[in-house]
């Protein structure tokens, strides 16, 4: 099963992918986590990524695509993958389609999480209080929302035209949202 999760910052992509990865026993590939781990290693790529992340901007496509394609040929990905926060631009989406096609695969469904901006901001400020993530501050949150609208939201149309998109209401308890996702996957016949 190959599933993409799209949603504005704070919509619960990471939260839901962790649950689904356990449920379906397939790997969870979060580009945010990969970039944060590159940053912790203090390698040149991590330092470059940190500049973009702390400013609330997208890390350049070439950097993200290198990180993802390195993962796709690992044996654990043979059973499927939950793509969390990737793709985030139309260029990343077309590159993912091509990389999967080269491997004789294609996406099964794209889950598009939906929530209003006030709720998203509340969640990220709460996370800032608990975890102190450097990009969870009011100015950067606003920038990330703008970047989502401008660069990532066009993907909704891209996947709708391919018949892959399932809109899911992301407001409610994490259990309620997971239930809606399972139902969307079932409706796609999986």
Where does this chain bind ligand B4P (CB under 6 A)? 9-15, 31-32, 35, 52-53, 56, 58-59, 64, 85-86, 88, 92, 123-124, 127, 135, 144, 172-174, 177
Residue nearest to ligand B4P (CB): 32
Q: How far is the CB of 164 from ligand B4P (least distance, A)?
A: 17
Q: How far is the CB of 9 from ligand B4P (least distance, A)?
A: 4
**Residue closer to ligand B4P, measured from CB, 44 or 189:** 44
**Residue closer to ligand B4P, measured from CB, 85 or 166:** 85
SS3 annotation, the chain: CEEEEECCCCCCHHHHHHHHHHHHCCCEEEHHHHHHHHHHCCCHHHHHHHHHHHCCCCCCHHHHHHHHHHHHCCHHHHHCEEEECCCCCHHHHHHHHHHHHHCCCCCCEEEEEECCHHHHHHHHHHHHHHHCCCCCCHHHHHHHHHHHHHHHCHHHHHHHHCCCEEEEECCCCHHHHHHHHHHHHHHCCC
Contact 105, 3 (CB under 8 A): no
Catalytic positions: 13, 88, 127, 133, 144
**Residue closer to ligand B4P, measured from CB, 97 or 189:** 97
Q: How far is the CB of 84 from ligand B4P (least distance, A)?
A: 6
Lookup: tokens for 15 = 């939260």
Q: How far is the CB of 187 from ligand B4P (least distance, A)?
A: 21
**Residue closer to ligand B4P, measured from CB, 129 or 161:** 129
């Amino acid at each position: 099963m190959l599933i993409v999760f799209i949603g504005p910052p704070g919509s619960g992509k990471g939260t839901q992918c962790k649950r689904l990865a356990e449920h379906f026993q397939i790997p969870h590939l979060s580009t945010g986590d990969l970039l944060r781990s590159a940053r912790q290693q203090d390698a040149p790529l991590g330092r470059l990524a940190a500049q973009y992340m702390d400013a609330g901007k997208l890390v350049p496509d070439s950097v993200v695509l290198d990180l993802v394609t390195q993962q796709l040929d690992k044996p654990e990905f043979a059973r499927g993958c939950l793509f969390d926060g990737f793709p985030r631009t139309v260029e990343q989406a077309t590159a993912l389609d091509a990389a999967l096609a080269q491997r004789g695969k294609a996406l099964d469904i794209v889950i598009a999480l939906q929530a209003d901006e006030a709720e998203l901001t509340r969640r990220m400020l709460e996370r800032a209080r608990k975890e102190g993530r450097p990009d969870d501050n009011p100015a950067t949150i606003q920038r990330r929302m703008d970047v989502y609208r401008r660069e990532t939201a066009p993907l909704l149309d891209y996947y709708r035209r391919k018949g892959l998109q399932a809109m899911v209401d992301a407001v409610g308890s994490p259990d309620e949202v997971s239930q809606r996702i399972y139902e969307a996957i079932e409706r796609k016949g999986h």
